[in-house]
Amino acid sequence: MLDDLYRQLIMEHSRTKRNHREIDNGTHIHYKNPTCGDVMTLYWKWGPDGILEDVSFVGEGCSISMASCSMMTEMVKGRSLEEVKAMRGAMEKLIREGKEPGEIDLGDALSLAGVHRLRARHNCALMPWQALDRAFLK
């Protein structure tokens, strides 16, 4: 079952969070999901070539939010602003509308597709992306 595989991926990311650390000399912001109480501090560092050199987070919250944070850091690291914007839009469609993007590779974050059916958890899955909005996307 694809659902089981997806659930396992979410649990695995929430237990073993990728890039769960601070960045020395990085910029950071705090972000809170008002719906569920999930909290995160997002760290990032741009490289001289306009590429996100490093992205990390420190956070606490439900498994959906922590898995989504972990997946986000893997997706955006090494990407340009334009690429991150495209991913941001694709994640919004995936979670809010349940639409999988054909042209953008969301990697492990595709496993969050089922969250579409859980309206109360939309903000959990989108938390790291909303944090990016506040950080530099919007």
Do the Cβ atoms of 61 and 94 come closer than 8 Å? no
- If we measure between CA atoms, which residue out of 102, 129, 104, 105 comes closest to residue 115? 129
Nearer of residues 54 and 123 to Zn ion, judged by Cβ: 123
**Closest approach of Zn ion to the CB of residue 101, in Å:** 23
Tokens representing residue 86 in the block = 């495209």
Nearer of residues 54 and 57 to Zn ion, judged by Cβ: 57
Give the footprint of Zn ion on this chain (CB under 5 A): 36, 38, 62, 65, 124
**Closest approach of Zn ion to the CB of residue 67, in Å:** 10
Do the Cβ atoms of 42 and 52 come closer than 8 Å? no
**Closest approach of Zn ion to the CB of residue 13, in Å:** 14
Do the Cβ atoms of 61 and 38 come closer than 8 Å? yes
Nearer of residues 94 and 124 to Zn ion, judged by Cβ: 124
